[in-house]
Structures are given as C-alpha cells and as structure tokens.
C-alpha cells in the first residue's frame, strides 16, 4: 500500500524527489515503531488513533523536536487520507490527532543593505574570473539573482525551461505545488541576465537536452536540487553571509523585502505560490521587527528610553 501512495504523490501530485523521499522515510519510521524491528512494512488497516498517539509519545521520549514530529505526522496524515479516499480503510485514524505546539520561528532573511553589497561583490567576482571559467560563475550569480527576484522554490527553479518565458522574457509560467500554475513578472535587469545566460549556453553548446532547461551544469545536464543548494551556500558564504545560506533564505528575503517595500500581502501570496494567506503572514512579523529597529533608532523618546 505504501508503494501505491508513493506512486500517487510522485506521479499524480508531482511532488519533488526530495519530498517523496521524506514521505517514504516518515511512513517507514512509523512502521519501525509498530514492529519494533527494522522491518518497515505494516498493515495500515489495523492501526488506530492510540497507535499514532503512542508513536508521538515515543518520539517525545526520544527528544525529537515538536516541529519534526509534526512534520512526520503530516506525512502520515497524507498517507491515511489517501487510503481513506481509495477505500482501503473505513475511517482515518489521524483525524482527531492534534499537532504538538511549537515555538514560531521567523524565517531567516538577508537585509537589503547586505543583499546590495553581496550582489556587487558577486558581480566583481564575475568580472575577475577568466573567460574560460566564467560560465559557472556567471550562472551562479544569475541563479542567486533569479531566486531573489522571483521567490521561486528550489524544486521550481531547477524545472525552469527557456520555453516557460513569455513576452520576450517579461513573464514566467511556473508550475508549483499541487500542479498550480502561476505567472511571475520578470524585472528588466533580470531579463537581460537571462538572455546573456542563454547566449553563453548557446555559444558554448552546453545544453544537451531537448527540453532546454535554464540552469545547467558545465556538461549540459539540468542542475539538481542538491546542486542548487551547494551553489547558493558556497556563493553566499564567499561574500560573507553568515547563518543560514540556502535557496529558501533567498525566497524568504524576496518576500520580506517585498513586504517591507509595501507590497500587498495577497500579491506576495500569489507570487510565492502559497495556497493559504496564513502561510504568507509570517512575513509581517519580519516587517514589524524591521519597523521596531527603525523606530528605536529614530524616535526621540525611544532613544532616551534606550
């Protein structure tokens, strides 16, 4: 039954390979708990809510964080919803299981001043790189600019094809989570960078795929999710970004800077591809945090009290 579910989220739901791997692993963890052995197969039809509650308590006893437990529970919920819809079980044992309370963490992002300095440093890196080695460096810089200017998820970025752009690269069609299509406007400067990257790919005859993905290895293969993480982590570290330095940090930075710039929350929700406005609202906290800093440094009464 697990195999059928994995095929469903992989083929019909079109989840990323990383997400599919996580769901499989989380369900296997539950099977190991039930069996008490490394044997991960189990009969999901005989599981009840007490089994799931016991699994949650077992993880708490093993000092697994509430957020990790909730993430695993989410995978299990999806599995049992699929079983219920498929008619394999009469009732869903996860229905009345509540998530654990977690401390809300604000998403990490790069400040506007640091982002501007970082982009200047990266451009200087491109200029200082010998021509024969310039493709990968230029591609990396365009990749960082692209995520920062579009807010795309890592899995969405690696699937961007040249044919996904419309109106002379001013718009991008993105197929996001749940097969939802959205349109992302492309800034003029970003359009120029994309054209330059395509010209380099063409002149060096790098692309070896008829699908013509935008971000490629030197050998012409599409970048993987791991490649994208490694590139961004390496480049952000090289220009002094401390703390988290992942593609998701750039996505958070995009959303936070949009919010600080006065963008409507609904518009940000649409650009990010969030199904719920509640998910987008986390960025208001970052915005308020930034406003507090400005207030404390600028207001006369705040300066006196501090």
Rounded Cα distance, 143 and 227, in Å:
11
Q: Report helix, strand or coil for 181.
A: strand
- pLDDT at 291 (0 to 100): 52
Rounded Cα distance, 148 and 160, in Å:
15
Rounded Cα distance, 223 and 240, in Å:
24
Contact 247, 229 (CB under 8 A): yes
Place of tokens 């380099």: 200
- pLDDT at 161 (0 to 100): 94
Q: Tell me how long the chain is.
A: 306
Place of tokens 């097969």: 179
- pLDDT at 26 (0 to 100): 94
Contact 255, 280 (CB under 8 A): yes
Place of tokens 């030197």: 218
Q: What is the pLDDT of residues 232-290, one digit of tens each?
A: 998 888 877 777 888 989 998 998 888 888 888 888 888 988 887 777 777 666 655 55
What residues of the chain score a pLDDT lower than 70? 37-40, 104-107, 209-211, 283-306
Reported for 200-207, long-range contacts at CB under 8 A and 24+ positions apart, including other chains, are: 200/134, 200/135, 200/138, 200/139, 204/135, 206/135
- pLDDT at 286 (0 to 100): 60
Residue 93 makes CB contacts below 8 A (sequence gap 6+) with: 47, 48, 49, 51, 52, 80
Which residues does the annotation mark as catalytic? 153, 177, 248, 251, 274, 283
| Residue 173, φ and ψ in degrees, nearest 5 | -90, 125
- pLDDT at 241 (0 to 100): 77
Domains of the chain, by residue range, sit at 2-85, 112-295
Q: What is the CATH number of domain 112-295?
A: 1.10.443.10
pTM more than 0.85: no
Q: What is the pLDDT of residues 202-230, one digit of tens each?
A: 887 787 766 689 999 988 889 999 999 99
Helix ranges (H only) for the chain are 2-7, 17-35, 49-61, 66-85, 112-128, 134-150, 154-158, 188-203, 225-238, 247-260, 265-272, 277-280, 282-298, 300-305
- pLDDT at 97 (0 to 100): 92
C-alpha angle 217-223-228 in degrees, rounded to nearest 5: 110
């Amino acid at each position: 039954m697990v195999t059928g579910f994995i095929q469903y989220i992989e083929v019909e739901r079109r989840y990323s390979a990383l997400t599919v791997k996580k769901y499989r692993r989380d369900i296997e963890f539950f099977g190991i708990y039930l069996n008490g052995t490394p044997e991960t197969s189990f009969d999901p039809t005989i599981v009840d809510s007490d089994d799931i509650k016991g699994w949650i308590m077992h993880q708490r006893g093993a000092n697994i964080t509430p957020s990790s437990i909730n993430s695993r529970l989410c995978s299990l919920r999806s599995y049992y919803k699929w079983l219920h819809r498929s008619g394999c079980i009469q009732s869903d044992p996860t229905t009345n299981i509540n998530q654990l309370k977690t401390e809300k963490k604000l998403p990490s992002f790069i400040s506007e001043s640091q982002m501007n300095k970082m982009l200047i440093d990266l451009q200087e890196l491109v200029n200082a790189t010998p021509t024969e080695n310039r493709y990968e460096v230029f591609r990396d810089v365009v990749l960082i600019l692209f995520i920062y200017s579009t807010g795309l998820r890592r899995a969405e970025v690696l699937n961007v094809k040249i044919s996904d752009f419309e109106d002379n690269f001013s718009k991008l069609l993105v197929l996001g989570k749940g097969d939802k299509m959205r349109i992302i406007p492309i800034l003029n400067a970003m359009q120029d960078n994309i054209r330059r990257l395509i010209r380099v790919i063409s002149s060096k005859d790098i692309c070896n795929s008829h699908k013509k993905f935008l971000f490629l290895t030197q050998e012409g293969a599409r970048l993987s999710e791991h490649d994208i993480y490694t590139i961004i982590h390496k480049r952000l570290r090289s220009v002094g970004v401390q703390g988290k330095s992942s593609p998701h940090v750039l996505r958070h930075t995009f959303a936070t800077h949009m919010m600080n710039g006065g963008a409507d929350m609904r518009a940000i929700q649409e650009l990010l591809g969030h199904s719920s406005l509640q998910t987008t609202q986390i960025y208001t906290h970052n915005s308020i945090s930034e406003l507090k800093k400005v207030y404390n440094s600028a207001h006369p009464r705040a300066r006196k009290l501090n």
